[in-house]
Amino acid sequence: MNYLNHFLNNRLKIKKESKYSLIIGETPSKGARSPKLWNRVYKAQKSRIRMYPADVSKNNINNLLRFLKNEKNYLGGSVTAPYKVLIMKYLDNIDKNAKKIGSVNTIVKNKNKLSGFNTDFFGSLEAIKKIKKQKKILILGAGGAARPVILSLTKKFKNSEFIFYNRNSNKIKNLAKELEIKNNFKIIKNLKHILNIKDFSLVVNTTSVGFDSWVKKNKELFNLKFFTPFSNLIKIKKIKSKNQSKFINKNKELLMTDRMNIKNFFLNRPNIEFFDIIYNPKKTKLLKFAEFYGNKIYNGLEMNLTQAVKGFMIVNKSNSYDFIKKKMINNG
């Protein structure tokens, strides 16, 4: 256990008398937002508690958690990729929502027990708050990141029909069973078939790479039949503002290499709303396309912020949602 003592006391610069929280992951020290957000709140509370990134290898997760169980100053914290699923088997208790979702992003220590929670569900609910009632929802992806989003969609849109784009129909059926989805749903394996669906009004992207994943998996859509020259785009959409002109100039390559027949997918559905769970970049290629054609767009920033607020509240036993959120946003 010597390496853990060195890890906590030297690398993290934690004073022995100070309470602390951690974000555990493979390399959270290389850009994870949680320490910055949590520490803004700790400072506003004039607390000596701080959150630190804990870079740990897959083979040392169990050792780290066993150590933290007996660490009197460890409060809990966050879990990030790629350990949200793996870490569950090393915890003493798992919240029912986290069990259903199948992953944990928050750990709370109580005495010598570690409990796992998933606040992505609450983040998803907040992110879709402004989205109006939907008849049909197109969902792209069905991986770990999709589960809390889909669960939140089933809670808000109980009467909506879900259309899943995924090549593995068994995966979708198992997901529907595990999440206890009662909505009607259908599965589309071929991206071309999406072009034939005319009445969905919400597109939700839960894949980690957004629009680019469609490109790599559907090379047949690169042919001339699905190609929209840049010159035609100018004719299709009248440029009404300097902002649109700037968008075109900055994204000529993106617009010229239309992978899904933009005219059919976007222009014939002017009232579609698009939600992408990715928050960095703020606008993925999917959202850029959607916004260019006048559709409402939502990124994953609100989802990420809310899950951080909820995680802070659970770990630090606080009920001050508005205060915590304000401090995380404003840093003041």
What confidence tens digit (pLDDT) does each residue in 54-112 have? 999 899 999 999 989 988 899 999 999 889 999 999 999 999 989 999 999 999 999 99
Phi-psi bin for 331: left (phi > 0), alpha (psi -120 to 50), beta? Answer: left
| Cα 146 → chain centroid | 8
Nearest residue to 74 via CA among 36, 123, 20, 121: 20
Judge whether 286 and 191 are in contact, CB under 8 Å: no
Nearest residue to 289 via CA among 203, 189, 219: 203
Report the C-alpha gap between 171 and 142 in whole angstroms. Answer: 8
pLDDT digits (tens, 9 = 90+) for 158-169: 989 999 988 888
Please identify which residue in the block is written with the tokens 């989003």.
149
For residue 249, the model assigns a pLDDT of 61
> Which of 16, 19, 58, 84 is an active site residue?
84
84 in active site: yes
Judge whether 144 and 121 are in contact, CB under 8 Å: no
Report whether pLDDT(196) > 50. Answer: yes
For residue 237, the model assigns a pLDDT of 45
Confidence of residue 149 (pLDDT cuts 50, 70, 90): very high
Domains identified in the chain and CATH numbers: 2-118+303-330 (3.40.50.10860), 122-299 (3.40.50.720)
Torsion of CA 137, 143, 146, 150, to 10 degrees: 60
Nearest 5°: phi and psi at 35? Answer: -55, -45
Give me the sheet containing 113-117, strands edge to edge: 50-55, 20-25, 74-79, 106-110, 113-117, 93-94
Instruction: Quote the pTM value.
Output: 0.77
Give one DSSP letter per residue of 57-94, joined into a string.
Answer: -GGGHHHHHHHHHT-TTEEEEEE-TT-TTGGGGG-SEE
How many Cβ atoms from other residues are within 10 Å of residue 225's Cβ? Answer: 8
For residue 142, the model assigns a pLDDT of 85
DSSP-derived pairing of the beta strands 74-79 and 93-94? unpaired
Mean local confidence (pLDDT), 216-229: 38
